[in-house]
């Protein structure tokens, strides 16, 4: 204690007028604000002063952010007019090296089945709601039953990208993956015992681990049994919990935004040509052709796509791309970021709600349409509400029943007027339709939305069909199809963007600028996904030790 005090005193000097001026202390465990000790054994402020930079989580590669031209600058031969070029800036982030594979998704299904057994009436829809739709392989005039029965589970397809997964299932997989990875991080750093996660799977402990629950109500994790699962950091029977300030908890896995996906696919980091920077890079690789122009492997296809009518792979033994349906991940060379299959194999879900326009007048930094701001629900006891047995299920328009949350997770509610009052950056919780050209985006919405429902629908720009599905008292699905004659589009707030070409697509769709959309509850045999993670801290993994504008001597 005395030595630390002397160090602080010696860093001060008497200046004119008798005032004391303190220079920055050389000790990282002494506050530059107060001179107090940080991380003192006696108590006080505790903080991870040894944190270097964010660790690269399992399966991910680092994508350094920057400026690029989002959209297409070549002729729009499809006349979609939905990818007008705009200059955007993307923050650094991480992205999966490959698409999520069948074996990765099977691990997810196995966990759900073990922890939330479907034979338990409380959990009856959790496992079933996560199952991919294997019937997407069927074709009324094609023999594809082999894929229907084998593609997901047979080890021959283990490292092939998972398909038949809708957008909602993809986001739930990402949330599950976040919790499993953070369990490993907490175990490694001594906050959890090594056998904690396996006791959950084996059924010794009821209730799983939720990252947000751990950060907000750590005593509630593992159904309130976390104290018995403490790691080596536990002191004198007093539980020790990691916080965000510990630097141990990783940000969440999630779907990449459309802008992130397109930026990562273009991979301009490997080519500093002006034309590429201006959006003229046609594919994730250099050049304007789909075949390899290098000496080694010259003429080989660089992606898995449909080469022509009735031609899904080329002539056997010659000019073949090595696949007829999907291909095993890493079958083709990665782009300059180290990402595989950013063109071809399967198209991929991204996070954004689809609209034909990209409103760069409002945002040219981390552009994303789909923000719905939520906050933690607070109970009558003043504590964050943790969901136990009150699992909320949602019946999708196609009749599939899915759990909105899992037991042990934090209950979330939309932000209200207390968070939006007099704000300039947002005024409501749901911002999916903000400035999309629809009357509802206007402050004069009431002028457009007056009258009966039919006439109001006719005045809307995005008046998509609304098919209502519900479960009656006997557990039977009741489907009410929309029969309105005023519907003019399939675009609504539940329609999501998917990017990239697939094994079913012609070369035109391999361009990272191309964008298509599909309802978030639908699945196909040609759309998969990969996860992303935000980077916290410095833009680059190679930090500048010398401040910019100064030269080291």
pLDDT band at 54 (very low <50, low <70, confident <90, very high): very high
Contact present, 187 and 238 (Cβ < 8 Å): no
pLDDT 10s digits, 133-167: 999 999 999 999 999 999 999 999 999 999 999 99
Region 21-47 average pLDDT: 78
Q: What is the mean pLDDT of residues 409-414?
A: 93
CA distances from 405 to 129, 175, 196, 408, 465 (A): 12, 10, 22, 9, 27
pLDDT band at residue 541, thresholds of 50, 70 and 90?
A: confident
> Residue 22: is its pLDDT beyond 60?
no
Sequence-distant (≥ 6) Cβ neighbours of residue 77 within 8 angstroms: 508
Q: What is the mean pLDDT of residues 247-267?
A: 96
Lowest mean pLDDT among 174-188, 304-318, 353-367, 370-384: 304-318
Distance, CA of 212 to CA of 374 (rounded, Å): 13
Confidence class of residue 110 from pLDDT cuts 50, 70 and 90?
Answer: very high
Residue 292 or residue 421, greater confidence: 421
Cα distance between residue 158 and residue 152, in whole Å: 8
Residue 217 Cα distances to 177, 212, 387, angstroms: 20, 8, 11
Residue 73 has pLDDT above 80, yes or no: yes
pLDDT in tens, 327-339: 999 999 999 999 9
Could you tell me if 491 and 462 are in contact, meaning their C-beta atoms sit under 8 angstroms apart? yes
- Burial (CB count <10 Å: 0-12, 13-18, 19+), residue 263: buried
More confident residue, 457 or 418: 418
Q: For residue 117, what are its two tokens?
A: 């057994």
Cα separation, 209 vs 218, whole angstroms? 10
Please give the pLDDT value at position 154.
97
Which of 267-276, 445-454, 483-492, 536-545 is least confident? Answer: 445-454
The residues, any chain, with a CB within 8 Å of residue 118's CB and separated by 6 or more, are 124, 126, 127, 128
Which of 112-126, 228-242, 266-280 has the highest mean predicted lDDT (pLDDT)?
112-126
Place of tokens 């907000």: 216
Q: How far apart are CA 53 and CA 501, in angstroms?
A: 35
259-263 average pLDDT score: 97
Whose CA is closest to 266, among 549, 531, 516, 513? 513
- Rounded-to-integer distance, Cα 335 and Cα 363, Å: 28
Residue 10: predicted pLDDT: 44
DSSP secondary structure letter of residue 427: S
Q: Which residues contact 31 (CB under 8 A, 6 or more apart)?
A: 37, 38, 45
Mean pLDDT, the chain, integer: 86
Helix (H) or strand (E) holding 263: helix 258-266
pLDDT of residue 264: 97
Task: Identify the band that residue 213 occupies on the pLDDT scale cut at 50, 70 and 90.
Answer: very high
**In angstroms, how far is CA 187 from the centroid of its own chain?**
24
The fraction of the chain above a pLDDT of 90, given in percent, is 56
Section 238-244 average pLDDT:
90
């Amino acid at each position: 204690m005395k030595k630390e005090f002397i160090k602080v005193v010696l860093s001060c000097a008497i200046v004119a007028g008798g005032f004391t001026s303190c220079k920055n202390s050389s000790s990282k465990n002494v506050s530059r604000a107060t001179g107090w000790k940080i991380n003192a054994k006696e108590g006080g402020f505790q903080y991870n002063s040894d944190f270097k930079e964010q660790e690269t989580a399992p399966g991910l590669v680092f994508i350094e952010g920057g400026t690029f031209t989002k959209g297409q600058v070549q002729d729009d031969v499809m006349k979609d007019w939905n990818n007008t070029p705009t200059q955007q800036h993307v923050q650094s982030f991480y992205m999966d090296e490959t698409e999520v594979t069948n074996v990765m998704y099977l691990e997810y299904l196995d966990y759900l089945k073990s922890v939330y057994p479907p034979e338990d009436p409380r959990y009856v829809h959790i496992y079933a709601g996560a199952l991919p739709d294997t019937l997407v392989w069927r074709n009324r005039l094609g023999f594809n039953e082999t894929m229907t029965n084998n593609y997901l589970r047979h080890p021959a397809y283990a490292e092939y990208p998972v398909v038949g997964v809708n957008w909602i299932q993809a986001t739930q997989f990402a949330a599950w993956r976040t919790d499993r990875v953070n369990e490993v991080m907490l175990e490694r750093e001594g906050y959890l015992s090594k056998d904690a996660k396996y006791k959950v799977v084996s059924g010794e402990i009821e209730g799983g681990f939720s990252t947000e629950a751990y950060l907000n109500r750590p005593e509630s994790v593992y159904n309130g049994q976390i104290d018995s699962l403490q790691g080596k950091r536990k002191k004198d029977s007093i539980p020790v919990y990691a916080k965000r300030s510990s630097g141990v908890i990783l940000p969440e896995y999630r779907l990449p935004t459309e802008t992130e996906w397109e930026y990562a696919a273009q991979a301009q980091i490997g080519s500093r040509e002006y034309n590429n920077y201006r959006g003229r890079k046609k594919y994730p690789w250099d050049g304007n052709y789909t075949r390899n122009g290098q000496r080694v492997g010259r003429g080989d296809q660089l992606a898995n796509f449909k080469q022509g009518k009735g031609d899904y792979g080329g002539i056997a033994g010659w000019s073949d791309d090595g696949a007829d349906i999907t291909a095993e991940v890493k079958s083709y060379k990665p782009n300059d970021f180290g990402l595989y299959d950013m063109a071809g194999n399967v198209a991929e879900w991204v996070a954004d709600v689809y609209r034909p326009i990209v409103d760069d007048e409002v945002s040219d930094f981390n552009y994303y349409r789909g923000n719905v701001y939520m906050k933690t629900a607070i109970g009558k006891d003043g504590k964050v509400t943790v969901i136990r047995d009150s699992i909320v299920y949602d019946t999708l328009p196609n009749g599939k029943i899915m759990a909105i949350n899992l037991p042990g997770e934090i209950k979330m509610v939309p932000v209200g007027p207390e968070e939006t009052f007099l704000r300039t950056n947002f005024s409501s919780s749901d911002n999916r339709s903000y400035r999309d050209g629809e009357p509802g985006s206007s402050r004069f919405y009431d002028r457009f939305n007056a009258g009966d429902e039919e006439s109001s629908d006719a005045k809307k720009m995005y008046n998509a069909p609304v098919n209502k599905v519900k479960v009656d008292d006997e557990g039977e699905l009741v489907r009410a199809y929309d029969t309105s004659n005023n519907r003019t589009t399939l675009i609504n707030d539940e329609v999501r963007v998917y990017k990239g070409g697939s094994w079913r697509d012609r070369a035109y769709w391999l361009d990272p600028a191309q964008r298509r959309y599909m309802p978030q509850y639908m699945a196909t045999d040609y759309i998969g996904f990969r996860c992303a993670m935000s980077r916290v801290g410095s833009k680059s993994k190679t930090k500048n030790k010398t401040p910019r504008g100064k030269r080291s001597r």
